[in-house]
Structure 1
């Protein structure tokens, strides 16, 4: 920060303040910063009864000399710094489901039939086909010269054609899909149904794309008060992206189970009938959290709902006693309120109708006796 000090002659200062020149007035010294803020130095140390007002301009924060970056503001004491959860990393952007190239099943049947026909014709050409078989297929009698190089080549071509035609036939089912790959590279997904022809050189991995549900085992959780629970959840899900579900992760079903267990560790689950939303609020929070965790791996989660919530065995007895005590306290409070209302109504009616004349002592005795009588009639100790 640059600091400049200017000396003003006494004559000019005296003229500006309306005093006579040479009256022994101090020279004004000014300090200027980068924001053109001027503070008279003599006003800061002035011994006078009048208050001194120092105009201040906006503070200027300079850049760091070593890095060229602005310094980060320090968090105010008493306010927690928000912590943002890092999102899950996306899988390979090129790894996304796309349809594979397949042909109708009729093309595979035609290619297989052509291969068989070629092998039959080659056998007849070599003279190895018996005359009855030739007449059955409508071939004229021909005496060949035996197998040669041309015959073997024809056999090889016919065999390859027949094997490719019949070997690539596949039946697509509703709710099932095939993930195709070659030499470790994703080639596409087949979701079509019916008789299809798929390249037999491409390895196939079958995946279930139907809407599925999974009922978990008893998993650990906590309630809003921190008490240990054992929760069983029902998860409704399906595979949305077959490429990411099968190739982007080792096992998507195991990953789904672990995500559910991790969500239960972070979301408090309240038993049914609670005042904070019960299992409905916990199910909504679990569904949202698990859906965010499984979306990058191609799994779509529709619902995660607790179906059975129980306290852990080590705290079940204590919680049961606490509930019984709370119910008993509410019942006693309700009973006492009704007894007090009945006693008040009885005493009021007796005094307003003039049936009895009571002083303070008699009123207290009557109230005590009526209270004992009403409590005894309700079967509760006083």
Structure 2
């Protein structure tokens, strides 16, 4: 079922028509005392009843709002024209907001693709674009949006790991744009039948579950320490190579392979150590005290 335009006319001119009919009916009814017939009096009463019935057909349409019309249970169209409108007084009307709305899902506990329990939540921005589908294809479109969005979030989170691996697969924590686009598409696929368009969807909360948070924090700290050590060693090796090249080029001292190895060992200890080093003066030779 698709939306179509419903019958309605401008309300202000219709008010004038109702006013004229009411005056005519009143004149016919009160003219009975001046020698008018009973039929004229009945016509006046009929006009007044018609005016009262017509008053039920007036309704207002706010900006970015639609009024869904039903005539004896059958869909009669949607009115989106703003202002005071008039339609068939026997039509029932239901207001549907066309404004952009958003909501934040609750924190869901799911397992990522690695099987780690995580907590995740999302913010979804959406709006109704087809009032007929929103009203007649689902029971409660607002509740439908909430439940389907959380279902899509749960499904999406199970397809990605929390942290990035070496295989290049996107991760929840490091590939925000990819994850948000996938989440939006996943939600949109579920909400098409409800006449809803997903404007934006993004992750608002992401964390390891409490039962493994401490262990995962230690793992992240260990990875950070290893990465830092790797960077330190890489820099230290470059500095040692540069020092040996400078000594050789400037002819400061001639070192054989054994003395070079000792010098490299000492420099690496100094450059890679966590604590400040204490100098030791060797008053003898390398081969004896």
Greater CA drift, 210-219 or 186-195? 210-219
Name the counterpart of 1:260. 149
Greater CA drift, 206-215 or 269-278? 269-278
- Report the alpha carbon displacement of residue 223 of structure 1 after superposing the two structures with TM: 4.3
Name the counterpart of 2:284. none
Matched, 1:298 2:231: no
Q: Is this contact kept in 1: 2:28–2:43, CA < 8 A?
A: yes
Give the 3 Å change call, closer, same or farther, for CA 380–219 of structure 1 in structure 2.
farther
Greater CA drift, 265-274 or 340-349? 265-274
Match for 2:259 among 362, 368, 373? 362
Name the counterpart of 1:116. 22
Structure with greater proportional helix content: 2
Pair member with larger Rg: 1
Name the counterpart of 2:282. none
Name the counterpart of 1:281. 178
Residues of 1 paired with 2:155 and 2:104: CA distance?
20
Name the counterpart of 1:153. 42
Match for 1:327 among 187, 199, 224? 224
Greater CA drift, 256-265 or 242-251? 256-265
Higher relative contact order (CA 8 A, sep 6+): 2
Greater CA drift, 196-205 or 208-217? 208-217
Runs of 4+ in 1 over 6 A off after TM superposition: 270-275
- Report the alpha carbon displacement of residue 211 of structure 1 after superposing the two structures with TM: 2.4
Q: Is this contact kept in 1: 2:105–2:122, CA < 8 A?
A: yes
Matched, 1:240 2:137: no
- Report the alpha carbon displacement of residue 152 of structure 1 after superposing the two structures with TM: 6.2
1:357-376 CA-partner distances (Å, limit 9, x unpaired) = 44444333332222223334
Residues of 1 paired with 2:147 and 2:204: CA distance?
18
Q: How does 1:309-328 map to 2 (within 5 A)?
A: 309-328=206-225
TM-score, normalised on structure 1? 0.62
- Report the alpha carbon displacement of residue 194 of structure 1 after superposing the two structures with TM: 1.9
Residues of 1 paired with 2:93 and 2:253: CA distance?
99
Residues of 2 paired with 1:215 and 1:380: CA distance?
51
Structure 1: gaps of 5 or more residues = 1-94, 128-141
Secondary structure class of the residue paired with 1:267: helix
Structure with greater proportional strand content: 2
Name the counterpart of 2:7. 101
Secondary structure class of the residue paired with 1:232: strand
